[in-house]
Structure 1
Amino acid sequence: MTDAPVVSISSGSVRGRWRGASAAFLGIPFAQAPVGGLRFAAPVAPEPWEGVRDALEYGPTAQRGDKGVTLIPEPSIPGDATLNVNVFTPSPGSADAKLPVLVWIHGGGYVAGSPASPWYDGRAFNRDGIVTVSISYRLGFDGFGHIPGAPSNRGVRDWLAALEWVQANIAAFGGDPDRVTIAGQSAGGGAVLTLLGMPKAQHLFRAAWALSPAVADVGVERSRTLSAKLAHLAGVIPTVDGFRSVPESDLEKLQETAAAAPKGDPLGAVRSLIDEGLPWGPAIDGDLLTQTTLASLESGIGSDKPLVIGTTDDEFTMVLDDVKGRLRLLPAGLLLGRLLTDRDTRRSYLAANVVQRRKGTAAVLGRYVTDAIFRTGVVRVADARGDAPTYAYRFAWPSPTRGWALHCLDVPFWFDCLDADGVQAIAGDAPPRRLAAAVHGAAVSFIRDGDPDWPAWARHPGVTRVFGGPPEAPDVAADGYASVRPLVA
């Protein structure tokens, strides 16, 4: 394996690089650069090229600039050709290998994130006989904002175009287009659920895994209002030509202003996020998305596909760590009333979370935010899918450096990349490899066979695989999300 691997695909030939027993092909365009006349347009197939194209470096990312220290290291790479894929495979050029395929969609609240993270390298999945693809998509207003005269949900259309590229080309990398599993975390997990409930996406994959999914489902009126506000801030008419006249970097800054909550009321901002959701993301457009994701799943769309869905135990509890001393003497019920106004529901919720209450008021408020944004979604989705094969899990191992089983902590365990850059900061000096073997092993089993090896929710409502729980606790809980049920009822 000394010669660089070369693979022929629909638009030309690409040259990758061997890394031991597997190869990486990076920055392959699945669509033309969304600039000039293609800015705010639906993705357009790439122009064919002559000769062999090097695919040795990650391609440009839709995320721009230095985002500072983030929980997942996700670098920004400059350039226009942001619609690209990265393929990691143990069998390049072996069309008869027919290996199962994982397609990974990164998170970042639909406004940030990068497929070039070292955590998303498919090396461990390649070791286990799985071809892995990470995809990019347009972010923020460019990807999801409402523009009269422009196609809606451009970021969603990018997901579809990338998955269509996989269908057309993955056999050349040793993958089986009939055995594609989509997976993603946070906004990427929300993308997975959006695709699972989308009629036009059903032929593109056979299974789905959603880690800590953040579903947007932006309503029509909110989408239009945000776009009009952004146009006003930019000083342009809210049309394709108007928005194209504003530099991308200016729109990126202004979109934060347009979506910002009123200052001076941090709990009010949190309540707004809980009640209204993320400002940018997949929107109800009457075309690709005609109803909410939950309604789509409840109607039976995607019911033929197995789904694994779960969260970490304390996704966002960490955000209150800096003020836990000041909140320590304040009653949890009193402050929670600012976020959860129904008294009976609040009392039931506090009664169901006695263990968390012992950790202090900040822990209760943080857990509520986690539950309202993430963990209630697991129960709602699993219940909505009825008899469809749905498997729930929790990631309960607390970070030794951050103190919580927090947002993003499960990702390096899922990818089995505990030695990757940035893992030590969130998982400590000696993250448990047995836990990585369990989490990654479940992912491998699911991608191969459609079964993660624990009971399905439909047969035992509430049944949940718990990764990294206390030693005395069972690995499978009879009702692993019981503490959020007062919020779902």
Structure 2
Amino acid sequence: MTQPSISPDYLEITTAAGAVRGCWREGSAAFLGIPFAEPPVGALRFAAPVPHRPWEGVRDALEFGATPQRVGPEEVTIIPEPSVAGDSTLNVNVFTPSPGQTQDRGLPVLVWIHGGGYFAGSPASPWYDGSAFNRDGVVTVSVSYRLGFDGFGWIADAPHNRGVLDWILALEWVRDNIAAFGGDPSRVTIAGQSAGGGAALTLLTVPRAQELFERVISLSGVPTEMTLEQAEATGRRLAWLGGVESSRAALATLPEQRVLELQAQLSHLGQEGDPILNIASVLNDGLAFAPVVDGMLIPRGTADAMRAGQGSGKALMLGTTDHEFNMMLAGAGAHLPAEPDPALLTRLGVSTETAGMYAADRPGLDSAQLLGQFVTDSMFRAPALRVAEARAGSTAPTWMYRFAWRSPVTGEAGHCLDVPFFFDLIDAERVTAIAGSEPPASLAADVHGAAVSFIRTGQPGWMPWDAGTHQIRVYDLPTTDIDDGYADVRPLQAAPSALTPQPRS
């Protein structure tokens, strides 16, 4: 193994494609924007990713690489996720406390897949910096991948699931190169939040990916069950709106900005002023672009694959925040009855009996709060429970948690609130906007510490969900462990959810 070239501020590492120059940052090193694939433009647009060709000399890895996201983060995401211009969008960032193989066995590795609904987001976020994981002996890698139609849209003569193929090639890059950065390729944990958490669950059931990682962490991840027929209908719709045939050559004539405009049309959810229609659209239509059950790369839906034993030998830790998407109903009170009305839920397809039971079990909520909690429970919490139940009988355990700490800013444990606690970066940019001026350091120590323990040993620190009592950890002040902490969403197992997106008309 070639030893790294080290100076007071910079260091060089030799990868399979060539040397890269990173920089020291208070005891650990960062290598940013390392390409793992050729730029997906020109003849490679809408193609499977191609490993990056070797380069001569030393390539600077001092700034974040280009991202597929082309808009300002304030438009689409709670997390600050900058857009970076450029074509070479398939790249990784590596944060390491131990560059070079200096011991018999490298450090465990965390590979992070960002969220953003598969159409937005970026690995260049200050919330995804690996410094705290480095401090605790974990090499951290964040991944950029194709988004929206370019990554997941159906095209007649293009490979399906191009974004998933990007994840796999990035993991293969980790397998082949992470030892040079001090990591152990046999001890890789993949993790992500929101769509990134769904990505981690998808990879857990993809046969081709099984040898590339050891464990999985899913934060607020929903396994997306888009069928090939649904994807085709949406893909043909986009091509029709663009005035072209659904082929690689025809779609390549559309400028990138035009494709982004068309996918935004297809991703429009709900109607302003009608919260019931808005919720129904979210629950029943789901996402326009997401991983597709194509019968090849992804042979079957996530839960079905888990029931069949796929990924059963890999430990899984998953959970949600208590109020993920309650904010959807913020300000909707004027359009709803003041008193909670179970009939509102029946308009969403919930049975009268389940609607009545759901409302009765949540006293003290007004109509907007009731509907908001229903969105959270049916889109996130019930699917998390489905995943755990689908893995019953797996040879490796499943751990479940809830992030229940209520932000003083919103009064809720909302979507994305747990991310800076997971990375132990509660002093990062814009954290105060959702967590207040004094996010509790003890809570960050609990959440981050459990993640480090799971990555290093496979044991996060409480009893597995499938050990008999369905124990879960509840992250709050104080953090506690309780039994069957998702029992309240069992009645929603047959309710509408974003697991079954429908083609856009």
- SS of aligned partner of 1:27: strand
Secondary structure class of the residue paired with 1:16:
strand
AA in 1 matched with 2:98: S
Map 1:70-469 onto structure 2 (within 5 A): 70-94=77-101, 96=103, 98-261=106-269, 263=271, 265-324=274-333, 327=336, 329-351=338-360, 353-354=361-362, 357-388=363-394, 389-468=397-476
2:15 paired with 1:9: yes
Name the SS for the 1:458 alignment partner: helix
One-letter code of the match for 1:33?
Answer: P
**TM superposition score normalised by structure 2:** 0.93
Give the total of aligned pairs.
483
1:300 deviation in Å?
Answer: 0.6
Deviations 1:29-56 (A, max 9, x none): 0000000000000000111111111100
2:331 partner SS: helix
Deviation at residue 387 of structure 1 after TM alignment: 2.7
- Residue 315 of structure 1: SS of its match in structure 2? coil
Distance 2:295 2:49 in 1: 19
**1:228 CA drift (Å):** 0.9
CA shift, 1:256, in A, is 1.7
Cα-to-partner distance string for 1:381-417 (whole Å, 9 max, x where unaligned): 1111013300000000011111110000000000000
For residue 34 of structure 1, what is the aligned residue in structure 2?
40
Q: Report if aligned partners of 1:218, 1:277 keep a CA contact under 8 Å in 2.
A: no
Q: Select between 28-37 and 210-219 the one with higher mean Cα deviation.
A: 210-219
What's the offset of the Cα at 1:333?
A: 1.1
Report the AA paired with residue 193 of structure 1.
L
Cα distance change on mapping 1:296 and 1:461 into 2, 3 Å:
farther
Per-residue CA deviations over 1:134-188 (Å, capped at 9, x if unaligned) read 0010000000011111111000000000000000000000000000000000000
Residue 107 of structure 2 aligns with an amino acid whose one-letter code is: L
Identical columns (%): 55
Picking from 469, 487, 490, the partner of 1:485 is 490
> Aligned-pair distance for 1:301?
0.5
Structure 2: distance between partners of 1:123 and 1:57: 16
The answer on whether the counterparts of 1:218 and 1:279 sit within 8 Å (CA) in structure 2 is no
| Runs (5+) with no aligned partner, structure 1 | none
Contact 2:340 2:365 in 1 (8 A): no
Tell me the alpha carbon deviations over residues 8-33 of structure 1, each in whole angstroms, 9 at most, x when there is no partner. 01000001000011000000000000
Work out which of the residue numbers 46, 61, 82 in structure 2 matches 1:55. Answer: 61
State whether residues 189 and 455 of structure 2, in contact with CA within 8 Å, keep that contact through their aligned partners in structure 1.
Answer: yes
Q: Answer yes or no: is the 8 Å Cα contact 1:462–1:482 preserved in 2.
A: no
Unaligned runs of 5+ in 2: 1-6, 495-505
TM-superposed deviation, 1:262:
6.3
Per-residue CA distance 1:181-221 (angstroms, 9 max, x = gap): 00000000000000001111100000000000022221122
Root-mean-square deviation (CA, aligned residues, Å) is 1.5
1:475 corresponds, among 477, 480, 488, to 480
Shift of 1:233: 0.7
Residues 6 and 93, structure 1, Cα contact 8 Å, conserved in 2: no
Q: Distance in 1 between matches of 2:277 and 2:309?
A: 36
Offset at 1:222?
1.2
